[in-house]
């Protein structure tokens, strides 16, 4: 099974620039989770809520830190995950483009 969460949008504190540390900015999350369904399902609403909550609590400096932490937390909370791809986009940080970072994680078990 695969879960797709596309264009999850919310404002959060993320970044290293002075204004990014005080003014929340828009982020867009795209996530694909692959897992073996065997009667137990992964609730996509719980996944989306967990991502928003964690990002708002952690106030990451770097996209890299956010992705690494979120991958770890998602696997801990949802051990059935076999693989996931997580992309974080900052759509408004530059006037002429959208900036994003993506990671793919594969898990044994």
| Residues 74-107: tens digit of each pLDDT | 999 999 999 999 999 999 999 999 999 999 999 9
Q: pLDDT value at position 108?
A: 82
φ, ψ of residue 37 to 5 degrees: the values are -85, 125
Cα–Cα distance measured from residue 7 to residue 57, given in angstroms and rounded to the nearest whole number:
20
What is the distance between the alpha carbons of residues 67 and 101, in angstroms, rounded to a whole number?
8
Range of the domain at 54: 2-106
* Digit-coded pLDDT (tens) for 24-53: 999 999 999 999 998 899 999 999 999 999
Domains: count for the chain:
1
Cβ neighbors of 44 (< 8 A, separation 6 or more) are 3, 5
User: What CATH number corresponds to the domain at position 60?
Assistant: 3.30.1130.10
Q: Are 72 and 50 in contact (CB under 8 A)?
A: no
Cα atoms in the 13 Å half-sphere on the side-chain side of 77:
17
């Amino acid at each position: 099974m695969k879960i797709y969460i596309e264009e999850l949008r919310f404002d959060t504190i993320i970044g290293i620039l002075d204004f990014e540390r005080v003014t929340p900015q828009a982020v867009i999350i795209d996530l694909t989770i692959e897992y073996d369904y065997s009667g137990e399902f992964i609730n996509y609403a719980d996944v989306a809520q967990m991502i928003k909550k964690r990002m708002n609590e952690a106030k990451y400096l770097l996209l890299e830190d956010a992705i690494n932490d979120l991958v770890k937390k998602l696997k801990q909370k949802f051990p059935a995950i076999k693989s996931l791809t997580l992309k974080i986009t900052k759509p408004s940080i530059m006037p002429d483009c959208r900036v994003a970072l993506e990671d793919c994680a594969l898990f044994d078990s």
